[in-house]
Every structure is written in C-alpha cells, then in structure tokens.
Amino acid sequence: MKGAFGSIVDQWLDEHPVLSWLSHHPFVTVGLVLLLLLLFQGLFGAIARFSEQFWLSLFQSPLKLGQWFFGVGAKSLKSVASRDLSPSDRQERLTEIFKRLEVLRAEQETLLTEVKSLLAQGGIRLEKEQNSKAKR
C-alpha cells in the first residue's frame, strides 16, 4: 500500500517540477509561504479599507450634497448682504476690525515679553546647573 501511494506521489512530483523542487527545499518553501501570507494579508487589508471608504462616502454623499447646497445658498446671501452695506456701515466695520487687530497685537506683545523673560530665566538656570556640575 505504501509503495503504491509513494509511486503516485513520485509520478505527480515528476509531472510538476516546481513542486518537486519546493518539496526538496523545505526552508525556502516555508519562507515563500510566509511571504505569500503577508502579501495576501496586505491585499485583503487594502480591499477592506477601500470597501470601508466606499460605503462611508456612499452614505455621506447625501449629507455632503445638502451641506454644499445650503452652503452655496448661505454664501450667496452673505455676498448680497455685504454688498448692501452703506459707506458708514463699512467704516464702522473697518473700525471694529482695526480695534480687534490692535487688541491682538497688544496681547502678542505681552506674550512675547513673557516668553523672553522665561527664556532669560531658563538661561540663568542652565548656567547655574553647568557651574554646579563643573564644581563636582
């Protein structure tokens, strides 16, 4: 029985020389199988991500279409409203913007002063630490 089965396997391996070579080199075979498994894992992961993105975009498209439609409508209303400003309203708006910019500039100056003082204090600490390490 064993001889009959062995002859069938030998005959099959003779007909398939690549598989015969792989059966005689098991370490190479294991390496190739692992490589193929990793490649298929990456392929299936890519297919899953693509499928997920497809379904998400499919279900989000009505919402995005509605946002776009209402966004375009709101932008057109804003542009009409901004065109209707009288010269005095424009002047008031410019004054408000300049005041806000001045407040922001003052805050920036305050923060820069604080950063400079912190950096100066940090530099003193570093010099003190270097002197104490040099004395040791």
pLDDT digits (tens, 9 = 90+) for 28-84: 999 999 999 999 999 999 999 999 999 999 999 988 888 887 877 666 656 655 566
Q: Is this structure's pTM higher than 0.75?
A: no
Model confidence at 115, in pLDDT bands (50, 70, 90)?
A: very high
What local confidence, expressed as pLDDT, does residue 121 receive? 86
Tokens of 35: 């490589």
Asked if residue 99 has pLDDT above 90, the reply is yes
In a shared domain, residues 19 and 55? yes
By C-alpha distance, which of 43, 18, 22 is closest to 32? 22
Q: Which residue reads 């070579």 in tokens?
A: 21
In a shared domain, residues 108 and 75? no
What local confidence, expressed as pLDDT, does residue 126 receive? 46
Report the alpha-carbon distance of residue 93 to residue 85 in Å, rounded.
Answer: 10
In a shared domain, residues 71 and 90? no
In a shared domain, residues 6 and 60? yes
In a shared domain, residues 71 and 110? no
In a shared domain, residues 77 and 104? no
Question: What amino acid is encoded at 66 in this protein?
Answer: G
Report the alpha-carbon distance of residue 71 to residue 65 in Å, rounded.
Answer: 10
Q: The domain containing residue 58 runs over which residues?
A: 1-84
**Where do runs of H (alpha helix) occur along 1-86?**
2-15, 17-24, 26-83
In a shared domain, residues 78 and 136? no
Relative orientation angle of helices 17-24 and 26-83, to the nearest 10 degrees? 100
Percent of the chain with pLDDT over 70: 79
Mean pLDDT (the chain, rounded): 84
